[in-house]
Structure 1
Amino acid sequence: MTHANMMNNYFNPNSVYTKEDFRHCFRIGRHVFERLLHDVHQVNPYFRQKLDRADRLGFSPHQKVTIALRMIAYASLADSIDDTYGMPESTCLDTLAEFRDTIVQLYKEEYLCEPNDQEDLDWLICKAEYRGFPSMIGSLDYMHWQ
């Protein structure tokens, strides 16, 4: 039932919430969510829906990715997710760990690298200045930003 409600609210073609609502709720666009969902589903069998010990369908890939993203986006505690999504605390924590490991495995080379030369540093400084954070690299606390 939780899966059906979530699909009806956010993912079906005539969903209850708009793209803007989705972005506000998940802190990413729907297309980014769908890419993450597809990628983790393909790489890690944990994110595939399986039968549980009582021969009932377990949590869906959408539910698992949603749980992980909500915990990351809002620094939510696993027991608060339990109340909202009906996923036990231990499963929430397992899901978050699996998501983290899979994301690192998938995107480490492309997105999770340290700046290694002056060109990378210049690019970061330019991007930060464009977004209104001049001298960002030199300040750890951003206190000089107005």
Structure 2
Amino acid sequence: MSSPDLDDEFDEFFDEHFDNLFQDCLDDYGSDQQPTSSRRPRAFIDRGREEGHIRLWNDYFSENATYSQASFHRRFRMNKSLFIHILDALSNEVPYFQQRRDATGRLGLSVLQKCTSAIRILAYGCAADAVDEYLRLANNTAML
């Protein structure tokens, strides 16, 4: 059986060596890191989000839409009124589907773009980049 004094000595020994080892690891890690000022800035790639939203709206949702109701139904596997109902519910209840500004202050994908991509992915069981024609989602989709 160990004595209280021996336990205290062990605790002190352990704490001292652990602290030294931890500090050595921090020092080693810190010396491996590049200073933040030498990092290259991220490249901006304009994915045409705004143009994608306008094209999507004009093709399917405007008064004089490019495609008919039948085309809409074939493409989305539901009628437009049901789609709009789902869009409203998602945008009001699920934060992901609300349009927000990104880190640069630009508006992100519209509610219409996000819902369209989610519904098409679910309807067809395809990958996110397969619905990229209007949505510009290929590199920034974290979907259901």
Q: TM-score, normalised by structure 1?
A: 0.59
Contact 1:81 1:89 in 2 (8 A): no
In structure 2, runs of 5+ residues without a counterpart are: 1-50
Q: 1: CA distance between counterparts of 2:129 and 2:70?
A: 27
1: CA distance, partners of 2:77 / 2:136: 21
Q: What is the CA distance between 1:82 and its match in structure 2?
A: 3.9
Which residue of 2 is the match for residue 119 of structure 1? none
Partner of residue 19, structure 1: 69
Any conservation in 1 of the 2:114–2:135 contact (CA below 8 Å)?
Answer: no
Shift of 1:90: 4.6
RMSD over aligned Cα atoms = 1.6
1:85 Cα offset (Å): 2.7
Pick one of 32, 43, 50 that aligns with 2:82.
32
What's the CA shift for 1:89?
4.5
What is the alpha-carbon distance in structure 1 between the residues aligned to residue 89 and residue 62 of structure 2? 20
Indicate whether 1:74 and 2:74 are aligned: no
Identity %: 33
Q: Structure 1's 89 and 80: CA in aligned 2 closer, same or farther, altered over 3 A?
A: farther
* 2: CA distance, partners of 1:74 / 1:54: 33
Within a 5 Å distance, the mapping from 1:121-132 to structure 2 comes to none
Change (3 A) 1:60 1:84: closer
